[in-house]
Structure 1
Amino acid sequence: MPELPEVETIRRTLAERVTDLRIEEIRLIWSSAVCGWEDQSFETLVTGRQIKTIDRRGKYLLIRLDKDLTLIAHMRMTGRLNYYSETKEPEKHTHVVFRLEQGEVHFSDTRKFGRIQAIPTPLCLSGSSLGKLGPEPLEAEFTPEVLKERFGKKKLSIKAALLDQHVLAGLGNIYVDESLFQAGISPERGVDTLSKLEISILHRAIKNILQAGIDAQGTSFRDYRDANGEKGFFEQDLQVYGRGGQPCKVCGQTLERIRLAGRTTVYCSRCQR
């Protein structure tokens, strides 16, 4: 699933291509991939609108159109938004084609979990799941004190808490495992056992890992590509994620692979206490 660094990379590469372009036509190949607003169809709402800006909130892309309309795109597990400078025949798993003044944007999704919702911009928070998201971890307002407050008195493992988008927006399995490794904290620790110092160290690790992921244009194992169809290269920097049974790059201890919070979790029992 694209996480914050991947979605931010898609946002940047797509914005470079489509900002200020008008959507001239929409071709729906699988209509369930999109959602209109009230009794107005997606095609009716979106056709003829100009793309003004592209923002991000957690793992969601917010494509701002003129006349106060926003497209909320969630890639889920395997969704992609790819830009093509010329007309291109849709591939097998392409569900929506946006024909622009210059080029096309194709929304494809192998597993069909991703969605694009059209919604009046003033209602983005009240009319969608965006209003329930936790803080953005790369914003200046996200401090160690805010992280502690978001944990509250939960009786959860730190892995489960960080995966909860209501606690903190944008993290998934890759960047939670990597953040916990850098912070030296076991994913099995309860959030209520973390000291003030450990929360501060974890806060710094989350910011460092997410920024490194963005700098590397994301992590590509299977499906993720940016809007230009390019892979990210953060995979080469991964310390624990996907490396269960291999030696820790820091201490040489064999990395543990367990099931935690419904997800495969990899960590070093020596480096992470």
Structure 2
Amino acid sequence: MPELPEVETVRRGIAPVLEGARIERADILDARLVRPFDPGIVAGELAGERVRAVDRRGKYLLVRFESGRVLLMHLRMTGSLRHAARGALAADRATRAVLRMDNGSDVAFRDVRRFGTWELLEPQEVRPTLAERLGPEPLGAFSAARLGRRLEGRRAPLKSALLDQRTVAGLGNIYVDEALWHSRLHPLRSAGGLDGDELRRLHRALRRVLRLGIARQGSTLRDYTAPDGSYGSMQDEFRAYGRAGQPCDRCRAVLERIVVGGRGTTFCPRCQALTRASGPS
């Protein structure tokens, strides 16, 4: 599933195409994309809107219109955006919607698994919708102390707490595994039981792996690509995710895989040891 670095890469790739352009026509080809709303009605509402900015919040893309409305896009597991000159988009059965812009570009939303969503929010709905769903941005004004406050009192496993988008926005399975490896913290640690040094290590690691992911244009494991069709290379930097059975790059112990909160999780049993004192209470 695309996480913060992948969505930020998509944002950077599609913003120059959309910003300043007006939607001449919207074709919503899959009713699931905008349910429970009628796709014809949503398409009609989008037509005529001019894009002021393309932003990101957590794993969401925000297409902000001059009217104050926002088209909230969530890529989910396999969503991506493609763009080409008018009429030049390749035929693709995975295309769920196409925006035809007045600058001569067509922008397609492609989604093999069909879990992605579009929500057209009125101006007064934007702030409360995002506030209800998302915690702070980890690459914004976000300190180790603030991370500690977000985790304070949480008895859930550390990995589960970090995957909760209301704790910190934009984190997913890949970058949490990577951050926990870099910070030498076991994924089953009690989220509220970290001391000051551990919080600082985790805070540094989260920002480090997210910035590296953006620099590498995300991780391409199956379906993810940037809007120009290029692939990310963050997978070449993995130290934990997907490497169960391989030697740890730090201590050479064999990496192990467990399931935490229903998510496959890879860690080093030596570098990220779970002690009796630090385990879930």
- Range into which the TM-score falls when normalised by the shorter chain: over 0.9
* Cα root mean square deviation, aligned: 1.7
Residue identity in the other structure for 1:139: G
1:89 Cα deviation from its structure 2 partner: 4.5
- Judge conservation of contact 1:26–1:99 (CA < 8 Å) in 2: yes
Aligned to 2:145: 145
Give unmatched runs, 5+ long, in structure 2. Answer: 274-281
1:249 Cα deviation from its structure 2 partner: 1.5
Q: Which moved more, 1:243-252 or 1:167-176?
A: 243-252
Determine which of 117, 120, 129 is the counterpart of 1:118: 120
Identity, % of aligned positions: 39
Please list the CA deviations of residues 40-86 of structure 1 after superposition, one character each: whole Å capped at 9, or x if unmatched: 92112110111110011100000011211110000011111111124
Residues of 1 paired with 2:37 and 2:56: CA distance?
Answer: 21
Q: Which moved more, 1:212-221 or 1:86-95?
A: 86-95
Residues of 2 paired with 1:53 and 1:37: CA distance?
Answer: 24
Give unmatched runs, 5+ long, in structure 1. Answer: none
Residues of 2 paired with 1:179 and 1:217: CA distance?
Answer: 17
Please list the CA deviations of residues 77-114 of structure 1 after superposition, one character each: whole Å capped at 9, or x if unmatched: 11111111241244111110111122111011111110
The alignment of Structure 1 onto Structure 2 pairs a total of residues equal to 271
Aligned to 1:16: 16
Please list the CA deviations of residues 170-189 of structure 1 after superposition, one character each: whole Å capped at 9, or x if unmatched: 00000000000000111111
1:219 Cα deviation from its structure 2 partner: 0.5
1:121 Cα deviation from its structure 2 partner: 2.6
Mapping for residues 108-257 of structure 1, pairs under 5 Å: 108-126=110-128, 128=129, 130-140=131-141, 142-257=142-257
2:99 paired with 1:98: yes
Residue identity in the other structure for 1:243: R
Residue identity in the other structure for 2:120: A
Please list the CA deviations of residues 16-50 of structure 1 after superposition, one character each: whole Å capped at 9, or x if unmatched: 22211111111121122125879992112110111
Q: Which moved more, 1:22-31 or 1:49-58?
A: 22-31
- Judge conservation of contact 2:73–2:119 (CA < 8 Å) in 1: yes
Residue identity in the other structure for 2:42: F
Aligned to 2:5: 5
Residues of 2 paired with 1:210 and 1:53: CA distance?
Answer: 23
- Judge conservation of contact 1:36–1:42 (CA < 8 Å) in 2: no
Residues of 2 paired with 1:231 and 1:122: CA distance?
Answer: 37
The runs of 4+ residues in structure 1 deviating greater than 6 Å are 36-40
Three-state SS of the structure 2 residue aligned to 1:41 is helix
- Judge conservation of contact 2:175–2:210 (CA < 8 Å) in 1: yes
Residues of 1 paired with 2:51 and 2:163: CA distance?
Answer: 32
Please, what TM-score do these two structures have when normalized by structure 2?
A: 0.92
